[in-house]
Amino acid sequence: MVTRRRFLQSTALGGAALLVGVRLDGRQALAADDVFAPNAFVRIAPDNTVTIIGKHLEMGQGSYTGLAVILAEELDADWSQIRVEAAPADVTRYNNTKWGPIQGTGGSTSLAESWEQLRRAGATARAMLVEAAAQEWGVPASEITVDGGVVSHAASNRRATFGELASKAAALTPPAQVTLKDPKDFKLVGKRVPRLDGSAKTDGSAKFTMDFAEPGMLTALIARPPRFGATVKWVDTIGARRVKGVTRVVQVPAGVAVVATSFWAARKGREALRVAWDESRAETRGSDELFAAYRVLAGRPGTSARREGDAAGALRGATRVLEAFYEFPYLAHAPMEPLDAVVRLGADGCDLWAGSQIPTVDQQVVATIVGLPPAKVRVHTMLAGGSFGRRATPNGDVAGEAAAVAKAVGGDKPVKVVWTREDDIQGGRYRPLYVHRLRAGLDAQGNIVGWEHRIVGQSILQGTPFEGMVKNGVDATSVEGASTLPYAIPNITVELHTTRVGVPVLWWRSVGSTHTAFSTETFLDELAQAAGRDPLEVRRTLLAKHPRHRATLDLAAEKAGWGEPLPPGRARGIAVHESFESVVAQVAEVSRRPDGLPKVERVVCAVDCGTAINPDVVRAQMEGGIGFGLAGALWSEITLVRGRVQQRNFDGYRPLRINDMPAVEVHIVPSGAAPTGVGEPGVPPIAPAVANALYQLTGQRVRRLPFARLAPAGTRTA
Amino acid sequence: MVTFTINGASQTVDVDSDVPLLWVLRDELTLTGTKYGCGVAQCGACTVHVDGRAVRACVMPAASLPGREVVTIEGVSGKVAQAVQTAWRKLDVAQCGYCQSGQIMSAIALLTEIPRPSDADIDAGMSGNVCRCATYVRIRAAIHEAAGTLGG
């Protein structure tokens, strides 16, 4: 007998045992005895609702809907009876199977890693419902069919809903073996279904961490150092404590927390705070100094990330050698929901409410700070208002801050730590600043005979619990996309210089490919131009052994009308890139704005992501990835002067607005292969595609991002 | 103490005159559908209707509220609102969803003023609302869709 409660007891983890999920409205679901819960991923209630337990954070990428489709498909449920809840933190049941013993969302793995697991979970539940009906009706299970949430036996004309069979099914033992569907019988996978969170996100009822409220809850803002690495020297709290609503001012590792009964009081209190900072160990270099130092390093051999043939020799023997340096700034993630977390201490443990991308880490960090075993920290995963990687911190930064403040304050009221937008833009954990140097040689026929690529920048993994992933001195997140260049070039070297800078860095949607796709795809275009060849044909030729790349490229080119005439003042550029096991090709059609910057009019995107579980979500992620990548390419940059971040809010750190957004067409390469990443792969190709189009239009090569730098200061238009 | 109308009902709240409407809504009235995104009227996540016009609640102080009629995503109603929200659902505009209350409130104000907006009208009316998920393609399509259902 596997009722929900029994199941939970059998996997009991101290205080976490009776936890079930968080609903979209932020409320806690309740465990009930009469619910059929054959495994950790689905509950079927007598009211005929089917609740999917989503172990991956919903941060906009459609994970809840995708996870539900996989399970509902094998269950043969009706989409209208599906509900979703966030899983609690419990690594024994909800670990990411691609990552090992850690529960987390990232690397565009959610659906890919859940595919087999949730198909089996759904098929198991279905088999038990069928068995329950077979016993109830006294008919062979093999004669029973299931469709749209209804179990039927045609010969005896009997039917039952899942809800009617739930309690009977709960008394059965799950089968050891289940048969998965033949993909040709899929009814939900590959079809358009409405997003499960679409309605709640249209009427204001969807609850994010920012919206968490309980009587007596306190809100804390933290005064943070103006330079990374500085610490509090002294603090004068008198002014802050005089502000109406401010209840406490406490020092925490991140800075000085002003705790108040409302956000506004905390903000005013923080403004009234006087803090002197010890900057003796702070990072004081600026972006210009870093770029200069990195350029010097780019001229010297680095740690090998890939070596095939003899690139140096090939370049010496080449008819023509091209060289280019590329510069990429720090980038903030700037999710629309600023960073936040709520912690409540209680007699029986501690609660964390957060849009947590890595619950295992956040749980451990909070547990360590408040002095409890991790199982006593109940993690309630809320909807996240965007993340783009920012909520996946190896040190659980924001959750840890909330825990530190709650501990310092004491009592049993929840404490919500909020980062203001200024805190977010200035607070670090950026996509690292990089310099690339590329050299390549052409022979007399215009063939690429050698390719040398050097990358200089900080490691994202170094100094984190994930440092073990750095192999032979190479952090793959620094070189991915370059070290994996798919083109058939006989002599290739890729080298890395890992720098140490006091600016905290982090993965930013599509990680290494945010910069490697730009340098490789624009440099390849430059080589094609130098050889007098068509950029599409060059890629096709060099991708002869990569059929997925080639098919994706061909689909984008065909749909975009590559080679067909355009109106005057318009040009096309193309780029293709593989990331997270998916291949995306994009053709950008651009015109030129009065200030010289490109205006992207239209983007045609083709994607091979294996089986497209939710084609409409795939399209949405390509559209959004293009917009996100375009923001970084056109406008956004974090610059430091003497260690201080120059941007404060969306006025200085310019996002993409609707008037910048091109028309987007998405075409999905038909595939029956296992699903691969979707959340990130739409980002990398857009910047190089636009740069390549701009070159066709103006003859100008872009080697420093963002494009906004092309326009002389003061001439940029909105 | 300030008294104003919120979603059709008169309401008196005890706040200082400098507290922005956004925080009156969120911290005093627990109307959390209106979002904090930037605090400086740069992102539009806090867009509400004040006397029928789209306003950034993060920069409207409580002192200016007396006698005003404020409508938030929780209380918005009428043909235009219904058409917009229906179109948003039909096209599955939302991704993370955090900015969408503001987007929807701006779209309702736009369609109320211009029943059949061109792409340029949409750009002008919606460029104050940032979406980091870049759902702009669908926002544009949903506004056209809503305009169509309204027979504009």
pLDDT level of residue A196 (50, 70, 90 thresholds): very high
Tokens of A562: 């590559």
Locate tokens 């805190």: which residue? A423
Tokens of B110: 């736009």
pLDDT over 70 (residue A384): yes
Neighbour count for residue A205 (Cβ, 10 Å): 17
What is the biggest distance separating any 2 CA atoms in chain B, rounded to whole angstroms?
45
Please give, rounded to a whole number of angstroms, the shortest distance from the CA of A519 to a CA of chain B.
24
* B20-45 residue pLDDT tens: 999 999 999 999 999 999 999 999 99
Buried residues in A403-426 as b, exposed as e (16+ CB within 10 A) = bbbbbbbeeebbbbbbbbbbbbbb
- Residue A204, chain B, CB below 8 Å: the answer is yes
What does the pLDDT read at residue B151?
A: 87
What does the pLDDT read at residue A715?
A: 59
CB A626, CB A650: distance < 8 Å: no
What does the pLDDT read at residue A1?
A: 33
Mean pLDDT of A554-572: 97
Phi, psi for residue A349 in degrees, rounded to 5: 135, -155
CA nearest to A150, candidates A52, A278, A50, A250? A50
Which sign, positive or negative, has the C-alpha torsion B41, B47, B50, B53? positive
| Chain B contact probe: residue of A64, A196, A202, A353 with most B CBs at under 10 A | A202
Helix (H) or strand (E) holding A290: helix A287-298
Buried residues in A268-296 as b, exposed as e (16+ CB within 10 A) = bbbebbebebebeebbbbbbeebbebbee
User: In A, residues 632-661, which contact B (CB 8 Å cutoff)?
Assistant: 649-651, 655-659, 661
* A104-161 residue pLDDT tens: 999 999 999 999 999 999 999 999 999 999 999 999 999 999 999 999 999 999 999 9
| Chain A contact probe: residue of B21, B58, B92 with most A CBs at under 10 A | B92
- Residue B106, chain A, CB below 8 Å: the answer is no
When the pLDDT of each residue in chain A is averaged and rounded to a whole number, the result is: 94
Locate tokens 């390719």: which residue? A451
Share of chain B above pLDDT 90, in %: 99
* A605-644 residue pLDDT tens: 999 999 999 999 999 999 999 999 999 999 999 999 999 9
| Chain B contact probe: residue of A105, A201, A217 with most B CBs at under 10 A | A201
Tokens of A531: 């050889």
Share of chain B above pLDDT 70, in %: 99
* A643-691 residue pLDDT tens: 999 999 999 999 999 999 999 999 999 999 999 999 999 999 999 999 9
Q: What is the interface size between A and B, counted as CB pairs within 8 Å? A: 180
User: In A, residues 538-597, which contact B (CB 8 Å cutoff)?
Assistant: none
> Strands A50-54 and A82-86: what pairing?
parallel
Tokens of A593: 């704005």
What does the pLDDT read at residue A717?
A: 57
Q: In this complex, do A661 and B140 lie within 8 Å of one another by their Cβ atoms?
A: yes
Tokens of A184: 């040709």
CB A464, CB A475: distance < 8 Å: no
Nearest to A60 among B35, B129, B133 (CB): B133
Measure the CA–CA gap between A69 and A428, rounded to whole angstroms.
37
Please give, rounded to a whole number of angstroms, the shortest distance from the CA of B122 to a CA of chain A.
8
* A460-503 residue pLDDT tens: 999 998 899 999 999 999 999 999 999 999 999 999 999 999 99
pLDDT over 70 (residue A9): no
CA nearest to A223, candidates A57, A390, A83, A405? A405
Task: Give me the DSSP letters along A481-542.
Answer: TTTT--S--SSEEEEEEEE--SS-B---TTTTHHHHHHHHHHHHHHHHHHTT--HHHHHHHH
User: In B, residues 36-55, which contact A (CB 8 Å cutoff)?
Assistant: 36-40, 42-43, 45
Helix (H) or strand (E) holding B137: helix B136-149
What does the pLDDT read at residue A26?
A: 85
Segments in A11-88 forming alpha helices (H): 63-75
CA nearest to A219, candidates A277, A154, A283, A267? A267
In A, which residues are within 8 Å of B96 by CB distance?
59-60, 335-337, 383-387
Measure the CA–CA gap between A87 and A21, rounded to whole angstroms.
5
CB B91, CB B136: distance < 8 Å: no
* A403-446 residue pLDDT tens: 999 999 999 999 999 999 999 999 999 999 999 999 999 999 99
What does the pLDDT read at residue A5?
A: 36
Please give, rounded to a whole number of angstroms, the shortest distance from the CA of A438 to a CA of chain B.
32
Q: Is the ipTM of this complex over 0.95?
A: yes
* B100-133 residue pLDDT tens: 999 999 999 999 999 999 999 999 999 999 999 9
Rg from Cα positions in chain B: 15
Measure the CA–CA gap between A28 and A51, rounded to whole angstroms.
13
* pTM of this prediction exceeds 0.90: yes
pLDDT level of residue A2 (50, 70, 90 thresholds): very low
What does the pLDDT read at residue A19?
A: 52
CB A684, CB A579: distance < 8 Å: yes
Q: Which residues contact A510 (CB under 8 A, 6 or more apart)?
A: A517, A579, A580, A625, A629, A680, A681, A683, A684
CB A448, CB A323: distance < 8 Å: no
Neighbour count for residue A110 (Cβ, 10 Å): 28
Q: How far, in Å, are A343, A352, A398, B82, B122 from residue B119 at the CA level?
A: 45, 44, 40, 21, 5
The secondary structure of B69-118, three-state, reads EEECCCCCCCHHHHHHHHHHHHCCCCCCCCCHHHHHHHHHHHHHHCCCCC
pLDDT level of residue A718 (50, 70, 90 thresholds): low
Mean pLDDT of A501-508: 98
Tokens of A569: 């003042």
